[in-house]
Amino acid sequence: MAFGDTETLEDFRKETRAWLEENCPPAMRTPMTDNEIVWGGKRESFTNPDSKVWLERMGENGWTAPEWPAAYGGGGLSKAENKVLQEELRRIKARPALFSFGLWMFGPALLEFGNEEQKKRFLPDIVKGKTRWCQGYSEPGAGSDLAGLQTKCEDKGDHYLINGQKVWTSYADQADWIFCLVRTSTEKKHEGISFILFDMESEGVEARPIKLISGSSPFCETFFNDVKVPKDQLVGEVNGGWKIAKRLLQFERSSISAGGFGGTGGSGILGPDEYAKIHVGTDSDGRVADGDLRARIADNDMLRRAFFLTVQRSQEQAKAGMEVGHTASILKYAVAKMNQERHELMVEALGTEAFGWEGEGFDEGAMKATRAMLRAKGNSIEGGTSEINLNVIAKRVLGLREHQ
């Protein structure tokens, strides 16, 4: 279906509404559950078959990446049209068709820094959810000090040769391709880094899952042993990868903030106020009986509200052409605090009901809440630690000086 000839926004809304009515399967209008999230890629199993249909249809329209140019498989929509699309999706409570590092981080960076051929080659498969990407940034010796990375990339004439190790690579064992920071020169720290792409099935790539305190294994140690990479897969200039890396981190922080570490709604986990009412009990007015806990829940709810209002403010200001670059670190810092506190409050309100790990005898949602509390500890580490974000705010936003 072609939307290019739509004359006015209202027409666009009508067409969009009609299209969604017809094409969004009913099952895709119910709250998402954790095991039905679609990340795409070759290994995607589509636990719910309707989610496959939904992804195919959305991908065909380019509506998983509504504002990317149609030439690269995107929706080619204006900001205003995309706003309409998002409103219409929310109206029918449609699930996101695709969760994807490609959509959130890599794609936006490639649009800015990739050459024409790279954009044509990689972006359409991100839009359609055919390729799943992972992020090869952190190394054992280079976390917060990311530019200290050592993974070696040598020019071998007709190809590059990569040797080294990444760590904390989320979903490396599930991904098809990796966008990776490598060292192409040891002369300078930042100006010796390049941004390169390769297939995770390349000879010499190995991903070993690491188990988290929450019990799941969403990330890996990733080893590269004489991995050969074609030369046209380096993005931007040789030794010019750092600025791409930083830009991508901004996209990462913004996408984390926009989602607010939101969880999936249909996960069966209740809010802290609901757990408190059930497990702490209520007073004669039907209010949470423990006034201290109640106040702390309200405080966290307000932080949450303030956070989402700030996301909205920054989006409106960006649309009005105002500079909002500084908000990425502020929001990333705030969202980690908010989400960690919220999950701690759930566990506190659950009391002994939060002690379940696995097996029979526990409420499913409560067990998930406990694991979610543990998982949330990573919120202040992943995508740049809270300390690093505070450094960024202090130096780049507030203009405070470096210690001499």
Partner 1 sequence: MTFVLTEDQEMLRETAMAFARDELPVTRLRALRDDGKLGVDGEARGKLAELGFFGVIIPDEPGGEHFGLVGLGQILEAQGRSIASTPLLQTALIAASAIQLGGTEAQKAEWLPKIASGEATFSLALDEGSHHAPANVSTEAEKNGQGYKITGAKRYVPDAHHADVFIVVARTFGDAGQTHGLTLFLVPSNAERVSIQALNTVDSHGAAHVTFDGVDVSEDAVIGGVDQGWDVLEPVLDRARIGIAAEMLGASQAMFDMTLEYLNTRKQFGQLIGSFQSLQHRAAKMFTDIELTRSCVAAALAAVDEGGNNVGELASLAKARASDLVHLVSNETVQMHGGIGMTDDHDSGLFLKRARAQEALYGGASFHRDCYAKLNAY
Ligand X SMILES: Cc1cc2nc3c(=O)[nH]c(=O)nc-3n(C[C@H](O)[C@H](O)[C@H](O)COP(=O)(O)OP(=O)(O)OC[C@H]3O[C@@H](n4cnc5c(N)ncnc54)[C@H](O)[C@@H]3O)c2cc1C
15's contact among ligand X, partner 1, none, with CB below 5 to 8 A by partner kind, is: none
DSSP assignment letter at 24? S
66's contact among ligand X, partner 1, none, with CB below 5 to 8 A by partner kind, is: none
Q: Does 390 bind partner 1 (CB under 8 A)?
A: yes
Q: What would the x/- binding string for partner 1 be over residues 320 to 359, using CB under 8 A?
A: x-x----x--x--xx-------------------------
CB of 81 closer than 8 Å to CB of 90:
no
Minimum CB–partner distance for residue 32 and partner 1 (Å): 24
Minimum CB–partner distance for residue 263 and partner 1 (Å): 18
Q: Which of residues 184-223 bind ligand X (CB under 6 A)?
A: 219
Q: How far is CA 190 from CA 149, 166, 195, in A?
A: 9, 18, 12
CB of 246 closer than 8 Å to CB of 252:
no
Q: What would the x/- binding string for ligand X be over residues 132 to 151, using CB under 6 A?
A: ---xxxx----xx-------
Q: Does 33 bind partner 1 (CB under 8 A)?
A: no
Minimum CB–partner distance for residue 310 and partner 1 (Å): 4
Nearer to partner 1 by Cβ, of 133 and 333: the residue is 333
CB of 195 closer than 8 Å to CB of 112:
no
Q: Where are the alpha helices (DSSP H) in 320-402?
A: 327-350, 364-376, 386-392
Segment lying near partner 1 (by CB under 8 A), choices 50-58, 74-82, 164-172, 388-396? 388-396
Instruction: Tell me which of 9, 318, 381, 397 binds ligand X, using CB under 6 A.
Output: 381
Sign of CA dihedral 235, 194, 204, 208: negative
Return the percent helix, strand and coil in the chain, to nearest 5: 50, 15, 35
Q: Which of residues 152-191 bind ligand X (CB under 6 A)?
A: 168-170
Sequence letter at residue 311: V
Strand 193-199 relative to strand 177-183, pairing: antiparallel
Rounded to a whole number of angstroms, the distance between the first and last alpha carbons of the chain is 61
Question: Please, what's the b/e burial string for 111-130 (b: 16 or more CB within 10 A of its CB; e: otherwise)?
Answer: bebbeeebbebbbbbbbbbb
Nearer to partner 1 by Cβ, of 246 and 396: the residue is 396
- Binding residues for partner 1, rule: CB under 8 A, are 273-274, 276-277, 286-288, 294-295, 297-299, 301-303, 305-307, 309-310, 312-313, 316-317, 319-320, 322, 327, 330, 333-334, 387, 389-391, 393-395, 397-404
Interface with ligand X (CB under 6 A): 135-138, 143-144, 168-170, 219, 378, 381-382, 384-385, 387-388, 391
